[in-house]
Amino acid sequence: VVYSGVKEFFAPINEIDKANVRAKFASGKEYFVYVGSVNPRKNVANILWAFDLFKTQSGSDIKLVIAGAKGWKTSEIFDVWNQMKFKTEVVFTGRLQEAELVQVLAAAQASLYPSLFEGFGVPPLEAMACGVPVITSNVSSLPEISGDAALYVSPQNVPDIAAKITALATNSHLRASLIQKGFAHYKQYTWDRTAHLLWQSCLK
Contact 133, 149 (CB under 8 A): no
| Mean pLDDT calculated for residue range 154-166 | 98
The pLDDT, as a whole number, for residue 1 is 86
DSSP count for the chain of H helices, then E strands:
9, 6
Is the pLDDT assigned to residue 23 strictly greater than 80? yes
Query: Residue 10 — pLDDT band, cuts 50, 70, 90?
Result: very high
pLDDT (tens digit per residue) in 170-195: 999 999 999 999 999 999 999 999 99
Q: For position 142, what pLDDT does the model report?
A: 98
Q: How much of the chain, in percent, has pLDDT values that exceed 90?
A: 93
Q: Which residues pair with 64 in a beta bridge?
A: 32, 90
- For a pLDDT cut of 70, what percent of the chain falls above it? 100
Question: Helix or strand or coil: residue 129?
Answer: helix
Over residues 36-58, mean pLDDT: 97
Residues 96-135 have pLDDT tens digits of 999 999 999 999 999 999 999 999 999 999 999 999 999 9
pLDDT interval class at 21 (50, 70, 90): very high
pLDDT of residue 203: 85
* CA dist 73 → 50, 68, 69, 89, 123 (Å): 20, 14, 12, 23, 21
pLDDT of residue 144 exceeding 80: yes
